[in-house]
Structure 1
Amino acid sequence: MADLTLDRALVDTSDGPILFVAAGRAQSAEFDLGPHHHSRGQLFGSLKGLLSVGIESGVWVVPAIHAVWLPPHHVHSARSHGPFNGWSAFIAEAACESLPKSPCTIRVSGLLREAVLRASTWPLEPLGGVREHVAAVILDEIRNLPVETFGLPLPKEPRLQRIAQALIDDPADERDLAQWADWGALSTRTLSRRFVVETGFNFTTWRQRARLMRALELLAAGKPVTSIGIELGYSTTTAFINLFRRTFGETPAVYRERLQLGPVVTEPSDLTDA
């Protein structure tokens, strides 16, 4: 794999190839990157693990089957949750003209994943021949893949955000609304009302979505459905399967069959400029 050290000078210049990709080794330590931006567009996602991405309009929690597209110059932050293995594709500003104009989350296809992993082996030099065709495939996939609407908006009020982050870190936590309000040092009424105002969901629905987002990541990792239900705190496996089917229109087992995850990258590269 190419040695792609993603320093600020590299991602903030239009010089060099129109596209370069870094794919990183699995890492057990979480990373947390504060607000920053690039002159290049960026598509990034995970092979394994959960990622949260902050932009001006909110924060998304992204499982391994999704990727986030950020047009050039959009301020963003990123944080991993637990062990993480991911990739980033940086695209020259001129090549972003026909790509989405606003940040969005897209479903990662098997074709996109394989093309990205292929591109991560290239040296930093002008593209030609087969490499130019593979780069065109990546741009076409960003342009045409369906935008995902299933996300997990986070509240901005610090106390609510602290509660939300705790639930993301441990979706199986069984504390009820009153207990979370007490832990967050605010009234039950304030927690209930402000959660709807800031996320668009009531507290119970938001917590269900947090569990389902983690379920997607665990399914992508190949965990048995029974184990996922237990790990996420559902009273029975049937309860988990029924909620999953109502949300996604199919059972967890069927959903997992369609994930078609690519290989996990184990060779070192620097992903610390997501």
Structure 2
Amino acid sequence: MTTENSFISPERQSLLEAYDRSDRSAVGFSMDYPDGLSSGMHCHPKAQLIYAVSGVMRIETTDAFFVLPPTKALFLPADEQHSILMEGAVAMRELLIEPTFAEKVATEARVFAVTPLLRELIVALCDEPVDWDESGRTPHIVALILSEIASAKTLFTKLPSPKEARLSRVANAILEVPSDPRSLEDWAETCGASGRTLARLFYKETGMTFGQWRLQARLNAAFIMLATDGDISKVAQKVGFSSQSAFGVAFKRTFGLTPAQARTLHLG
């Protein structure tokens, strides 16, 4: 693993590097982290399945942002630069998968729902040693995990990070203040471009309309607020929703959880 500003001790980093060097098709790595710790940008020579049995993670890659509750997992290809920020205490259960196996199930970063079966398979693999017995049950666990990943439906909770200077300015402002009500036409006056130009560039760079991108940014921000002790009605207002009911509908459509359920991930 290559890393900057790692939050883990040299002893634990050495342990993780042993998993990176493993010659097994996949290995599971368990570690618990306190609130607020961040990995800094780093990468692994193997593909990863990033998951937490409890707690919420905020993950950033070079071109996108993700929020991961315990109901979701993120697949990252080998050598994908990323950082992980713990939003509350997190019990991470991470899989490191040989690229030749990983490429059969996914070739790019994607989020998907973790079924009860996949959750138990992840936990089971994490209980196995890094040099697990190739003639035992573990190859079957790995095969089932890869099958579950391959058949899982991608959830469109990825928030692409626009690189064009004017779009980046708009995006950063929304990330800083999710409730910012300005339309693209409003932004056009401060960015030196027409609203039509900004709309075209936004879709070209992110694959999303401005409205879709802003909604996802608001919902991601709301999840963090809820998971770190937020009042639902106040959170809805803070991220720009005029009604709690509209917020609840959009939130559940995106994350598969109600705002109240998201809140209990931290408080319960």
Structures share a fold, TM > 0.5?
yes
**Cα separation, 2, equivalents of 1:121 and 1:249:** 28
Question: Does the 8 Å CA contact 1:48/1:217 hold for their aligned counterparts?
Answer: no
Deviation (angstroms), 1:90 = 0.4
Tell me, yes or no, if structure 1 residue 63 matches structure 2 residue 71: no
Q: Does 1:24 align with 2:32?
A: yes
Q: Find the counterpart in structure 2 of residue 200 from structure 1.
A: 207
Following TM superposition, by how much is the alpha carbon of 1:180 offset from its aligned partner in structure 2, in angstroms?
A: 5.6
Gap change, CA 1:101 and 1:191, over 3 Å in 2: closer
Q: Does 1:112 align with 2:91?
A: no
Give the alignment partner of residue 171 of structure 2, picking from 156, 164, 171.
164
After superposition, residues 66-105 of structure 1 pair within 5 angstroms as: 66-72=72-78, 75-80=79-84, 83=87, 85=90, 86-93=92-99, 95-96=101-102, 98-105=104-111
- For residues 242 and 188 of structure 2, the distance between their equivalents in structure 1, rounded to whole angstroms, comes to 23
Among 241, 245, 248, the residue aligned to 1:238: 245
* Unaligned residue ranges in structure 1 (runs of 5+): 265-274
**Partner residue of 1:141 out of 125, 143, 148:** 148
Conserved? CA contact 1:17–1:125, under 8 Å: no
Q: Is the 8 A contact 1:178 1:188 kept in 2?
A: no
Match of 1:44 in 2: 50
Instruction: Quote the Cα distance in structure 2 between the aligned partners of 1:179 and 1:97.
Output: 43
1:21 maps to a residue whose letter is: F
2:230 is aligned with 1:226: no
Shift in alpha-carbon separation, 1:117–1:222, aligned structure 2, 3 A: farther
Q: CA deviation at 1:9?
A: 4.8
2:21 counterpart SS class: coil
Provide the rounded CA distance (Å) in 1 between the counterparts of 2:86 and 2:96. Answer: 24
Point out the structure with the larger helix share. Answer: 2
Question: Are the aligned partners of 1:196 and 1:203 in contact in 2 as well (CA < 8 Å)?
Answer: yes
Contact 2:106/2:150 (8 A) holds in 1: yes
CA 7–209 in structure 1, closer or farther in 2 if over 3 Å, else same: same
C-alpha RMSD over aligned residues: 4.1
- Cα gap change, 1:127/1:53 in structure 2, threshold over 3 Å: closer, same or farther? farther
- The TM-score normalised by the length of structure 1 is 0.67
Aligned to 1:212: 219
**CA separation in 2, counterparts of 1:237 and 1:95?**
44
SS in 1 for 2:105: coil
Local SS of the residue matching 2:159:
coil
Instruction: Give the gaps of 5 or more residues in structure 2.
Output: 1-10
How many pairs were matched up? 250
CA distance in 2 between counterparts of 1:53 and 1:169 reads 15
The Cα shift of 1:33 comes to 0.4
Q: Taking structure 2 as the reference length, what is the TM-score of the superposition?
A: 0.69
Equivalent residue of 1:24, what SS?
strand
Structure-2 change in CA distance of 1:230 and 1:212 (3 Å) = same
Following superposition, the deviation at residue 145 of structure 1 comes to 1.8
**Structure-2 change in CA distance of 1:236 and 1:200 (3 Å):** same
Q: Which amino acid is the alignment partner of residue 20 of structure 1? A: G
Match of 1:186 among 183, 188, 191: 191
